[in-house]
Structure 1
Amino acid sequence: MRCVHFVGFRDDRFWAAVRVFGRPHMIHHRWDARAKREIGDDDVVVFATGDEHQPVSRYNGPDLDERLYSELLGLPWIDDKA
C-alpha cells in the first residue's frame, strides 16, 4: 500500500499540504531514524521544510498513524487520493 508521510509540520502549512496531497497516513514530528525506516520505496514523503538530505535528528520523535487516530476519535477515515 502506498502511504503518504508528513514530516515536521507544526503550523498551517499542514492544511495546505493536505489540500495538495490528501490526508497523511503517518505524521512524523521530525526527520529521524524511525521515519526513515518506516518509509517504503513507493511512499510519498512531504516535508514541512527541507528534504530527505537534511540531517537526521539525534532522537526519535513520536509518530502518529492518522488512520488509527481518526478511528479513536470516531471520525471516518477518508482517503481522498486513493
Structure 2
Amino acid sequence: MTPAVHFVGFRGEEYRSAVKVWGLPDFIHRWWDRRARREIAAHDTVIFAQGDWWQEPRRFNAQDLEG
C-alpha cells in the first residue's frame, strides 16, 4: 500500500502554501476528529494547519474530501 498525504484543517492561502511544500494531498480532513484519526495509516503523512497529532479530536465528525 502506498503511503497517503493527509491535510487537516487547511483553508485558503494556508492550503496553497502547504501544496507548494508537500504536493497535492490524497485526503483533506476539514478538522481533526475521531474519523480522521481512524483513517490514517501508520506510514501516512499528516500535515496540520494548526496543532498536532496530540490535540484532542473534535467530538463530531466532518465529511472528508479526497484531494
| TM-score category (smaller protein) | over 0.9
* 1:4 aligns to 2:16 (yes or no): no
The count of aligned residue pairs is: 66
- Between Structure 1 and Structure 2, whose CA radius of gyration is higher? 1
| Structure 1 unmatched runs, 5+ | 67-82
SS for the counterpart of 1:18 is helix
SS for the counterpart of 1:52 is coil
Q: Please show how residues 18-57 of structure 1 align to structure 2 within 5 Å.
A: 18-57=19-58
Question: What percentage of residue pairs aligned between the two structures are identical?
Answer: 48
SS for the counterpart of 1:45 is strand
- Taking structure 2 as the reference length, the TM-score comes to 0.95
Runs ≥4 in structure 1, deviation > 4 angstroms? none
Q: Deviations over 1:44-65 (max 9, x none)?
A: 0000000011111000001011
| Structure 2 unmatched runs, 5+ | none
Tell me how far 1:32 sits from its aligned partner. 0.4
- Taking structure 1 as the reference length, the TM-score comes to 0.78
Distance in 1, matches of 2:11 and 2:62, equals 13
